[in-house]
Structure 1
Amino acid sequence: MPQRPFWAGDPRGVDPGAATGAQLPPPARVRILARGAGLVPLWRNEIGGVTFRTDDDRVIKFGPRNAETSFREEAARLRWASAYTSVPRVLELGGDATQEWMVTVALPGLSAVTPRWLADPATAVAAVGAGLRAFHDALPVRLCPFVWDVPARIANAAVRGIRVPDALHHPPPVDRLVVCHGDACCPNTLVGDDGRWTAHVDLGALGVGDRWADIAVAAMSTVWNYGPGWEDALIEAYGVAPDPARLAYYRELWDAT
């Protein structure tokens, strides 16, 4: 879902390298889906969702249902996007009245905020920026059946009981329509041993929108994950000049929704 995941390096969350069963025990459903495979915790999000990697190269996502995105919606987006770029392949999908789960094939690379890349932010930030540009360039807007523009995001917020300030109902003119990731925070880019991006994950909100909706959040997340001073480096790696008005607007919209 579009939010800041609890990754290694986030003081609020789980360090996958140090996590033990006592720190993040796998829920019963995750153990069933693992089918005896070993489990390593990857992250825990703000609504109680968890993700584990198995030792047979699968990723299991499990959590409560929520009104913002669903694993069913994410699976549909992954299946569509997989024709154009590197995203997880869905193996299993399920749920009940209160919970849902999805199993995908694990992809090469490590999250841009695992300890290795937290120790090398220059490489990680460049990979995230270049990866986001490649993502935008690869996915065909005219063929995309999903929307993540401002009206859609405000409508989604209203369904969840969130009132968006009136000023945010009037966005800047669109710079360039792209298929947005929808949660372009740094953790959702995978980086290979060579320091280049390899894939993107967590596409539950993917849809057509202004590219600055993604750029703004990706740049903002460098502060959360690496500390101040990396925002311009990410924008440079993406390949555009900073646009203060669009950056400010889409950051405010992110926070409001």
Structure 2
Amino acid sequence: MLLPGSGWEPVSGGESATEVFRRDAVYAKCCGPGGVGELQSERDRVEWLAGTAMPGASVLDWLESDEGAALLTSAVPGVAASELPWSEKLVSSLATALRLLHELPVESCPFERPLAEVVAQAEDVVRRGAVNPDFLTDEWRRVEPSDLLARLHAELPEVAAKADLVVCHGDSCLPNFLFDPNTLECTGAIDVGRLGIADRHTDLALVRAQLADEWSADANSFFAAYGLPPDPHRLNFYHLLDPLTWG
């Protein structure tokens, strides 16, 4: 194993192919040779985000060999939103944190997630038959993935024409935003491997879905705190697109 010393404890959770370990206040993501490029991209995003107003982790070390690579980062204090009970304060803090991320100057962000590339990723997952049904709604599970993809293709020109580009998290699920459990202030965003310039609805759609899944809550109070009414059409498009990109 690439990790230095001993005492590393495995951490469960997450959807990526990396293995995650923790020792004291340090997290380590490890991958085999095939995942080095992707993990290196995440390292670069963590480094960039650490230089902005958005709180998050810091890169402590990067280890690479023929066995793969390991990214060591500082632990972000706090508790994941998904581990806290729903409250108006927490939802408001989540909205404030996401708005802060979205207001970072796009000209300073060197990372992009062009919609055409994300759709191409979904095409590859569908073509390989690798769509995870656990990520789909009950309605979508009754539809062939190729037909779901066809829906996206039909709506793509209109969605692309309305793109509102900001710095997006790219995987804005509740476990990826941490909060002080006492003040409910956001202490940082983690798992930023998909961070990049994209339509803000990329993130807003995932938050809306997560509020329903985790807390059976509608997103009205979130969008009110976020301060910008969303486009329902784009929310639905990006909600469907995301689960087709994991595979």
TM over 0.5: yes
Provide the residue aligned with 1:59 in structure 2.
Answer: 27
Is 1:49 paired with 2:18? yes
Please give the root-mean-square deviation of Cα atoms over the aligned residues, in Å. 2.8
Uncovered stretches (5+) of structure 2, i.e. residues with no partner: 128-145
Among 117, 123, 128, which residue is 1:152 paired with?
117
Contact 1:44–1:50 (Cα < 8 Å) also in 2: no
In structure 2, distance between residues paired with 1:102 and 1:198:
21
Provide the residue aligned with 1:214 in structure 2.
Answer: 203
Provide the residue aligned with 1:91 in structure 2.
Answer: 60
Provide the residue aligned with 1:6 in structure 2.
Answer: none
In structure 2, distance between residues paired with 1:205 and 1:53:
22
Local SS of the residue matching 2:12 = strand
Among 70, 80, 95, which residue is 1:111 paired with?
80
1:87-137: CA deviation from partner (whole Å, max 9, x where unpaired):
2111122355675421101122221122xx1x3444433222221011111
1:11-31: CA deviation from partner (whole Å, max 9, x where unpaired):
xxxxxxxxxxxxxxxxx55xx
TM-score by structure 2 length?
0.76
- Cα offset, 1:175, TM superposition: 5.2
Provide the residue aligned with 2:227 in structure 1.
Answer: 239
Local SS of the residue matching 1:202 = coil
- Cα offset, 1:189, TM superposition: 0.7
Is 1:180 paired with 2:168? yes
**Residues 15-54 of structure 1: pairs in structure 2 closer than 5 A:** 28-29=1-2, 32-33=3-4, 35-37=5-7, 39=9, 41-46=10-15, 49-54=18-23
Aligned length: 220
1:185-223: CA deviation from partner (whole Å, max 9, x where unpaired):
111111113111121111111111111111111211222
The amino acid of 1:183's aligned partner reads: D
Among 181, 188, 197, which residue is 1:199 paired with?
188
- Cα offset, 1:170, TM superposition: 2.4
In structure 1, distance between residues paired with 2:223 and 2:67:
39
Q: Aligned in 2, Cα 1:71/1:242: closer, same or farther, shift over 3 Å?
A: same
Is 1:71 paired with 2:39? yes
Contact 2:125–2:244 (Cα < 8 Å) also in 1: no
Contact 1:219–1:232 (Cα < 8 Å) also in 2: no
Is 1:132 paired with 2:98? yes
Uncovered stretches (5+) of structure 1, i.e. residues with no partner: 1-27
- Cα offset, 1:248, TM superposition: 0.7
Provide the residue aligned with 1:252 in structure 2.
Answer: 240
Q: Aligned in 2, Cα 1:97/1:169: closer, same or farther, shift over 3 Å?
A: farther
Q: Aligned in 2, Cα 1:136/1:65: closer, same or farther, shift over 3 Å?
A: farther
Which has a greater percent of helix? 2
More relative contact order, 1 or 2 (CA 8 Å, 6+ apart): 2
Is 1:189 paired with 2:177? yes
